[in-house]
Structures are given as C-alpha cells and as structure tokens.
Amino acid sequence: MELTQEQRLIRDTVHALASERFAPGAAAADRQYRPPLDNLKVLAGHGYTGIFLPESYGGTGLGLLETVLVVEQLARSCANTAMLYSCTDGATPRAILHIGSEPLRQRYLPAFAKAERYAAWSMSEANAGSDVGNVQTRAVGDGQHYVINGSKLWCTAAQVADVFLVLVRLTDEPGMKGVGAVLVERGTPGFSVGKHLDLLGLRGTGMAELVFQDCRVPAENLLLPAGRMKDLLQVLDADRITGNPPICLGLAQAALGHAVQHLKDRAQFGRPLAENQGLQWKLADMAMDIEAARALVYGAAQAIDQGRQSVAQVSIAKTYANEMAVRVTNQAMQLAGAYGLSEEYPFERYFRDARGMSIGYGTTEIHRNSIARELLKGSYLV
C-alpha cells in the first residue's frame, strides 16, 4: 500500500520525535508503573493529538490511517505512550463525536484535542468483557441525575483520565437492549479509582478498577440511551483498528530492529551471529510476518476511511497483528539468548507488552467468531 507524501511525513516525524523524546524513558515507565503523561503533552505541542477530530473541535480532521501511523511509531519507542494516546485519542472521544450531543462535544472534544484532559473507556466487569450484554453496573434515573452503582475492571488510563465513558445497565431489558453509556468525570462524588492493577506488560498505562457508590452524574451526561448499543459498537469496531493493532506493529518492528543489531554485534565461534544462515532465515520470517500484518492493518484503516467498514476485515487485521506480535517479540527474545531475559535490554519488555494485545479489545477467539459469522452470513467474501 502506497502512503501519500503527507502520511509519510506524519510517520517519519512522529518516529523521530518518539525516538528522541520518548524512548529514553520507556523502560523507567514500565519498571515504575508510571504513566508517561508528559509525552502526550509533547505530542499536543506538535499537533499530533486529536488528529481525527474535525477542526471545529480543535482537531486536524485526518483519518484512521493517519492515527494508525502515529500509534505505530509511538509504540516502536514506548508502548505505554502509544496506549495512553490511543485512549485519549480513541474510542471515548470518537464516541462523543459520532453519537454525543453537541453540548457534550463542545465540553470535551476541544480539551481532548489539546491534551488538556484525558479520556478512558470502561466496559469490562467481573462477568462482562466480551459479553457486553451482561453488564451489571446500574444507572438509575433520579430527576436531573443518574445514580450509578457497581464496579468496573481493566480500565486503561484510569489513574490519569479526567473523563470516563462507562457502560451501564439502564433498564431491566435483557442483554444489550438494556445497556447504554454515561460520561463520568473524575472527582464526581461516589466515584473512585481503585488500586493499580499489576499486569504482565503495559505497566505504565494506569490501568485500575472503578468503583461507583451512589455516584450522581447529570442527566445530560447520558451519552447513549438503552437500545442503541449497535451504534456504540460500530464506533468501537473502528477504534479497534487504531489502537491495539498498530501497537503490535510498533512493538514487533522495534523487536526486529534490536534483534538485527544484536546478531550483527555479537560474535560466537569466531564470527558474528548475523552470518549464521539459520538465524538469517528467522529474521526474514519476522520481517515477512510484520509486513503481512502491516498490510492488513493499513488496509482495514483505509477501508473504514473510505466508508467500507467491515467487521470481518477489522477482526482479521487485529487477530493477525496480535498473534504476529507475540511470535516476533518471542523470536527476538530467543535470538538475544540470555540478554533477551534481562531487564537491562528491551526484548523481554516488548514480549510482555505484546502478549496482552491478544486479550484486550476483544480476544482473538472472539474475533475469530466474528470472522466466521460474517463468512457464514455471506457478509464477507474471500
């Protein structure tokens, strides 16, 4: 796929910026469980936040593909920065833009575009992840407010976000028919952010649980009434291609680059490892895997930009990118030998960050279900 001159400029500029400013602190953010929030302010200063938002809300009006390019290059230097960026420049502002009221758009979107406020998306619960219809956190109308009770798990950026899109049960209708969404601001009485969740990877994303105890939010903060979950899931489908998959691309590309350098630098049995044909083939396989995933991800993003959104195409791209990143980062760690296991080198961090991608934003098993369903319906032809 041929990128335009503008798209290549965005890719190369973000790559240079992230390599210089974000890469040096990536390991510390991981070890200290510290969200690198200052990096988002740097991106805002260079005009790279809110890029998909219309100019009327402070954005630059670019497409999903441009967002993919930014996230991919951020992840090559710091996956935690890429993940935080994909939250505050992702599903929540996208949902507000496409299904929110004009007052909500005016209140939140310009602040997101300038990185003055940060967003999070909260869907998962103890018994509701891929099964959105089983959401139990309840919002009950009370005059000019909704009163929320319940809890949420696995909320990325929870420790730094200012505005949370929260999926709640609004009615007693079963399944997704009774589920809607409200916007909750940090500091709202009855709303608290729980302890930081200790994870295998992406430790600097501020992931935590949310707790609601008679939390009262204004009625105008209702983003999506019950019965319209299809609208919100369409937004999520688009966002699934701009966050998770390009992070996988960036991690895999970084791992491959470090593996190449390691094989060139390290000598065994009197010659550089890079002269071993068997190891050369492994590098070649890794490169092919990355390029195949990149073609799928870029193609899916371009299709959505052109109004050809396909559930199956998004699921294929995400699933392949997820599993590719695990393969490539694992192989890079193997090629580095004992160095691959040391926290003094980035190999093990790339693998840890990549591993969770196959679970977040819908597991690869769930996405395989989506692909098969579209094939059986005849909605996706190969």
Q: What are the tens digits of pLDDT across the range 161-209?
A: 999 999 999 999 999 999 999 999 999 999 999 888 899 999 999 999 9
CA distance 326 to 18: 23
283-294: average pLDDT: 98
68-74: average pLDDT: 98
Long-range interactions of 268-276: CB distance < 8 A, separation 24+? 273/335
Q: What is the pLDDT of residues 210-224, one digit of tens each?
A: 999 999 999 999 999
More confident residue, 196 or 160: 160
321-329: average pLDDT: 98
- The predicted pLDDT at position 145 comes to 98
Q: Is the pLDDT of residue 5 over 90?
A: yes
- The predicted pLDDT at position 178 comes to 97
CA distance 131 to 125: 10
What CATH number belongs to 5-117? 1.10.540.10
The segment(s) of the chain belonging to CATH 2.40.110.10 are 120-226
The segment(s) of the chain belonging to CATH 1.20.140.10 are 240-377
Q: What is the pLDDT of residues 221-275, one digit of tens each?
A: 999 999 999 999 888 888 899 999 999 999 999 999 999 999 999 999 999 999 9
Q: Which two tokens stand for residue 245?
A: 């998959």
Max CA separation in the chain (angstroms): 79
Q: What is the chain's percent helix, strand, coil content, to nearest 5?
A: 55, 15, 30
157-162: average pLDDT: 97
- The predicted pLDDT at position 246 comes to 98
Active-site residue set: 89
DSSP string over 130-189: S-GGG---EEEEETTEEEEEEEEEEETTTTT-SEEEEEEE-SS-SGGGGEEEEEEETT-T
Q: What is the pLDDT of residues 303-321, one digit of tens each?
A: 999 999 889 999 999 999 9
State the Cα torsion 113-165-151-364 to the nearest 10°. -90
Q: Among 2.40.50.140, 2.40.110.10, 2.60.40.10, 3.40.50.300, name the CATH number for the domain at 120-226.
A: 2.40.110.10
Q: Is the pLDDT of residue 130 over 90?
A: no
- The predicted pLDDT at position 382 comes to 65
- The predicted pLDDT at position 100 comes to 97
320-335: average pLDDT: 98
- The predicted pLDDT at position 171 comes to 97
The band of 86, judged by pLDDT with boundaries at 50, 70 and 90, is: very high
The segment(s) of the chain belonging to CATH 1.10.540.10 are 5-117
- The predicted pLDDT at position 237 comes to 81
Long-range interactions of 229-236: CB distance < 8 A, separation 24+? 229/132, 229/176, 229/177, 229/179, 229/180, 231/98, 231/99, 232/95, 232/99, 232/167, 232/181, 233/132, 234/309, 235/91, 235/94, 235/95, 235/98, 235/99, 236/91, 236/95
35-44: average pLDDT: 97
CA distance 352 to 101: 39
- The predicted pLDDT at position 143 comes to 95
Long-range interactions of 273-280: CB distance < 8 A, separation 24+? 273/335, 279/335
122-127: average pLDDT: 94
The band of 129, judged by pLDDT with boundaries at 50, 70 and 90, is: confident
Statement: the pTM of the whole predicted model exceeds 0.85: yes
High-pLDDT (> 70) share of the chain, %: 100
CA distance 51 to 254: 24
Residue 125 burial by CB count (10 A; 0-12/13-18/19+): exposed, middle or buried? buried
Q: Under CATH, what is the fold of the domain 240-377?
A: Butyryl-CoA Dehydrogenase, subunit A; domain 3 (1.20.140)
C-alpha dihedral sign at 344, 347, 352, 356: positive
Q: Is the pLDDT of residue 1 over 90?
A: no
When the pLDDT of each residue in the chain is averaged and rounded to a whole number, the result is 96
State the Cα torsion 295-298-302-305 to the nearest 10°. 160
